[in-house]
Structure 1
């Protein structure tokens, strides 16, 4: 299991790098005129960073497969749906955000095990 925990640590590092890249894009490249969508992008990016850091802790817990899978899935669904909406204005992906948020909560609980 240590190898898999280390894989999630590496995934957390890549996720953090992508969060930084998206933050840079949001600040300098994206042309988001709508203030709600701009704020949504920034809040989503904050959550992306926080949960990337949580992935770095996965190797330290007793259930790394559970915690890592929940965090990875949660980041993808929660942050992905909100990034998509913020960048495109399309709301079709929004219904998966609560599922992703629930997975992130479960990831924190799995980290506590």
Structure 2
């Protein structure tokens, strides 16, 4: 599952870049500290789930679990969760368009589903 390791590493690296970008380049651009905090939340959840994807890649390369389809689905859920959850928060933080917050919970639900899949994969 080299692809999962690479994907997780790219997303983690992008999380570092976006964190630094928000802290420095956008520092004075946010309408209020509230939006800076939203940006930080997006970065945190992106990083957590990038590390989750890396962990799944490592576990998937272990002969004990092999390439479980549940783990593959967990990675897909984490990836799409990052896009929906963190992506919508990034855009919300920069634009202030609150309607974007309506899709954020979809990303959160995908994160939950991903972790449930990781939990049940060893027993399937």
Length-normalised TM-score, structure 2: 0.82
Query: CA offsets per residue over residues 7-61 of structure 1, 9 Å max, x none?
Result: 1221110000110000010011012141111111112211111111001012215
Higher radius of gyration, 1 or 2 = 2
Match of 2:63 in 1: none
Which consecutive segments of 4 or more residues in structure 1 shift more than 2 A? 61-64
SS across alignment from 1:92: helix
Match of 2:87 in 1: 80
In the alignment, the residues of structure 2 paired with residue 37 and residue 75 of structure 1 have an alpha-carbon distance, to the nearest angstrom, of 18
**May I ask how many residue pairs the two structures share in their alignment?**
109
Task: Please provide the CA RMSD for this pair.
Answer: 1.2
Match of 1:70 in 2: 77
Structure 2: gaps of 5 or more residues: 61-67
Match of 1:13 in 2: 9
Match of 2:53 in 1: 55
Deviation at 1:91, TM superposition (A): 2.2
